[in-house]
Amino acid sequence: ASAEAAEQYHSAATLEEELRQLAQARPDIAELKEIGRSIEGRPILALRIGDRRGGVPKLLFMGCHHAREWIAVEVPFLLAKELVERADEAPIAGWLTSGEIWVAPMVNPDGHEHSRAQERLWRKNRRRNGDGSFGVDPNRNYGYMWGILDVPTSSHVPSDETYVGPRAFSEPETQAVRDLVGCERFAGVITYHSYSQLILYPWGYTEKSIPDAQHREQMVGMAQEMQTLIQEVHGKIYVPQQSSELYPTAGDTTDWTYGTYGIPSFTVELRPRTFQEGGFILPPDQILPTWEENRPAAFRFIEQLLVAPVA
């Protein structure tokens, strides 16, 4: 069963191949970019989708900061595929004229390959920490409030699952995202993870709310709307909450994108809801329904931030 699953989920190589095909099929609207290279030298890829008329708003969707979260590759990949394959249909055609959508489905390719071939439940990247242990948690390595916590969910011990790394942006995987976001000035970010079915917004490092009440209202409102849209498809409930309500972490992706640039940013935890339902091991027959329920939420996010950006 697990060999079968490995075939239906993308490897780093099959993802690269399919992203390349999408870019080749529609060079007028899609371009494959290497935004960096992993520790083991794998390309970190993003598909840029849009007419590129210059000065347009841009959105970023990412997946698979965590190696074992295989479904978090598939949802952003299927988003990219649909945007390219239906680029001439409404409403997508309009989006690709008014803005640009960037999709990076596998931020941590080394960890992902390790999860596929060696240790299914591997989480981190494949950094040699020098003490015999491997891996920095890419979702603790971003440079906003980096390292301020020392707790089990955000650890300074190299062998721990949530090791923050020796310094902010010590890893090529987070450097790639840092450099992309620094160049492209995104109007919104969604980063896909699994599991738990949650829609998380900043802060993650503190139980305090973000100071800007308008931003908070906007993100809470969008998260609630996404919850409704998701539930309408297959009845699954994705609970909106502040990241720190799940547990506190410092140096996660959305604290950095919001804290540094003020970008509305969400961490979406995909299926399943519980450990009992399989946890990180999501049967491949759930790839499509998970995409189906997340599609209208992603589309709404695009409508709100690309077509009618809030001032």
The kind and range of the H/E element at 271 are: none
Q: Draw the binding track, 42-71, toward Zn ion (x: CB under 5 A; -: no contact).
A: ------------------------x--x--
Tell which positions 156-215 bind ligand 0X9, by CB under 6 A.
193, 200, 204
- What burial class does residue 3 get, using C-beta atoms within 10 Å of its C-beta: 0-12 exposed, 13-18 middle, 19+ buried? exposed
Give catalytic residue positions: 269
Count of residues in contact with ligand 0X9, rule CB under 6 A: 15
CA distance 286 to 76: 15
Residue 249 interacting entry, from Zn ion, ligand 0X9, none, C-beta within 5 to 8 Å by type: ligand 0X9
Residue 250 interacting entry, from Zn ion, ligand 0X9, none, C-beta within 5 to 8 Å by type: none
Q: Draw the binding track, 216-255, toward Zn ion (x: CB under 5 A; -: no contact).
A: ----------------------------------------
CA distance 149 to 249: 7
φ, ψ dihedrals at 176, nearest 5°: -60, -45
Q: Which is nearer to ligand 0X9, 24 or 274 (CB)?
A: 274
Task: Find the binder of Zn ion among 10, 81, 114, 193 (CB under 5 A).
Answer: 193
Residue 294 interacting entry, from ligand 0X9, Zn ion, none, C-beta within 5 to 8 Å by type: none
In the DSSP assignment, the letter for residue 139 is G
- For the four alpha carbons of 142, 144, 149 and 150, in that order, the dihedral sign comes to positive
CA distance 82 to 97: 16
- What burial class does residue 63 get, using C-beta atoms within 10 Å of its C-beta: 0-12 exposed, 13-18 middle, 19+ buried? buried
Q: Draw the binding track, 265-284, toward ligand 0X9 (x: CB under 6 A; -: no contact).
A: --x-x---------------
Closest of 183, 189, 191, 175 to residue 44, by C-alpha:
175
CA distance 122 to 69: 9
Residues found near ligand 0X9 in the complex (CB under 6 A): 66, 69, 139, 193, 200, 204, 243-244, 246-249, 252, 267, 269
Sites of contact with Zn ion (CB under 5 A): 66, 69, 193
